Amino acid sequence: MAKRTFSMVDVTEILEHWYAGRPKVEVARGLGVDVKTVRKYVAAAEAAGFVPGGPPVGGAGWRALAREWFPGLAGVSSRRTSWPEIARHHDRIGELAGVVPVSVIWQRLRDEEGLTASVASVRRYVRAQFPEHARAGEVEVWRPPLPPGAEAQVDYGYLGRWLDPRSGRRRRVRAFSMVLRYSRYLFVRPVIRTGQRARAESHVQAFGFFGGVPARVVSDNLKAGVVRPDLYDPKINRAYAGLARHYEVLTGPARARHPKDKPGIEAHRKYIRSSFFAGRDWPSLEAMAADAVRWCTDVAAQRRPRALEGRTPAGVFAAEEAPALLPLPRTPFELAAWSRPKVAPDAHAKVGRTLYSLPYRLIGRQLDARATGTVVEFYLDAQLARTHPLQEQGRRTDWADLPEQKAGFFMRTPVWCRSRAALAGPACDTLVTELLTVDALFRLRQAQGVLRLGHKHGDARLEAACRRALQAGDPSCKTVKGILAAGTEFEGYQLPLPCAGVPAWLRGPAAFGGEDQ
């Protein structure tokens, strides 16, 4: 590619934009030239004592100065040599200007009309011929420079797939990254999950890595941090809000689908992926995370970004930004995950993979659940309703949460069943004992069912039904229930007569003197 020749008009335009207060990087981007070229020509003005925003110089003044500083410059702008070719498409450009960006106009003219001019030439042509549409959709709002420690930006960027040697599966790995806006000092933590706990842990590790806390954190809009994105009133996740309160940091999520709200961290995405992750392998996720910390200090912190003008992020951080950060809290942050479970009809609510019991009066209500590493707390309208020790999975029931009749039924153990059967009668005791002799826990429900029949039919009928079931050789709840339903529990069994327990003193006729009479 032929080396580009800069003319007097080119240099004058560069100097005018720089003197108006635009950063050198923006001047280069707007004029379509390399930033090194902008620095080369601006260096002469800086050496002469010119400072952006000074007294007006004017176009003629800059041209005179440019001739003095760079006598070898051409007098006619080399940019305008392509304008006759672009002018042939003037009407087409007029139709598209203001409708699509200038870059799209150039792409369509190149693909459909065979235009050979550069996109920078087309942009300058549109700026001159259609000034009302020149910057439509491309205006970048100038932002004042931030002081040290003022802001950090956070993002989750996709790194790629990694073969986990432990499971043999290929996992999608993302990078939690936080960059300090002033010094460009970077922290990276590879993660597989992006939930509330992983997000909180990543923030805690990032603040520990920096040794302090910035005044403001600009985050993305993942559900783990932002429940509802909104420009004016975003709803922050309760776990993330608790983290912000603990560290006394202001959180401000960027607008959804507006990456320019956090350009500092967005610019690092490709760099992290290519420099740290691409083409490398690790035996475990822990080893990857440890290597990421080493990479942040030994590689990323030693680069020399253009914005730092030859200095390294590590040097700027140590000299200017580290002293400006807020101190870390004395007490460690307690990681907690919030959720909104609903109390089911069985008076249990699910948090994680565990069901926890709650007072039965809360059935149907939706509660706020806070799970830490040791306990699970349930809140109703900000009032603590129940606390349980944390359990990984399964069911945790406190019988005091259930109604008395329900709790009593579930607390009927084999020992209780045998003692209750003995009160009903010997036959009932024998039948229940036989049920619970083998596989007591499996057949416990049968024993409970037999005893429940006594509540409906009485202990006398239950005892007779158990006796007949034992005689038939089928001591089961189903048989006892069938006998009571048919009313045949007393068939083949002589009921005791009234007063049968009173002894009868029988005497013959002689005892009454009948023979003498």
Separation of alpha carbons 296 and 40, rounded Å = 31
Q: What is the pLDDT of residue 511?
A: 58
Phi, psi of 356 (to 5 degrees): -115, 140
Cβ density class 240-253: b for 16+ within 10 Å, e for less: bebbbebbebebeb
Could you give the 3-state DSSP secondary structure of residue 192? coil
Cβ density class 458-488: b for 16+ within 10 Å, e for less: ebebbbbbbbbbbeeeebbbebbbebbeeee
Nearby residues of 69 by Cβ (< 8 Å), 6 or more positions away = 44, 45, 48
Q: What is the pLDDT of residue 417?
A: 85
How do the domains of the chain map onto residue ranges? 8-76, 79-133, 152-324, 337-403, 412-486
Is residue 496 over pLDDT 60?
A: no
Give pLDDT tens digits for 46-96: 888 888 878 888 777 888 888 888 876 644 444 445 777 888 888 888 888
Average pLDDT (351-374) is 91
Separation of alpha carbons 113 and 335, rounded Å = 60
Q: What is the pLDDT of residue 258?
A: 64
Of the candidates 23, 496, 505, the residue with the CA atom closest to the CA atom of residue 306: 23
Q: What is the pLDDT of residue 76?
A: 41
Q: How many beta carbons lie within 10 A of that of residue 278, not counting itself?
A: 10
Q: What is the pLDDT of residue 309?
A: 82
Give pLDDT tens digits for 365-398: 999 999 988 899 999 988 999 999 999 889 888 8
Q: What is the pLDDT of residue 506?
A: 54
* Half-sphere exposure in the Cβ direction for 76 (13 Å, CA): 3
pLDDT class of 509 with cuts at 50, 70, 90: low
Give pLDDT tens digits for 164-194: 998 899 999 999 999 999 999 999 999 998 8
CATH architecture, domain defined by 152-324: 2-Layer Sandwich (3.30)
Tokens 């379509």 correspond to what residue?
A: 32
Separation of alpha carbons 287 and 385, rounded Å = 42
DSSP structural state of residue 64: H
Nearby residues of 322 by Cβ (< 8 Å), 6 or more positions away = 210, 211, 212
Is the whole-model pTM more than 0.85?
no
Of the candidates 239, 240, 193, 242, the residue with the CA atom closest to the CA atom of residue 220: 240
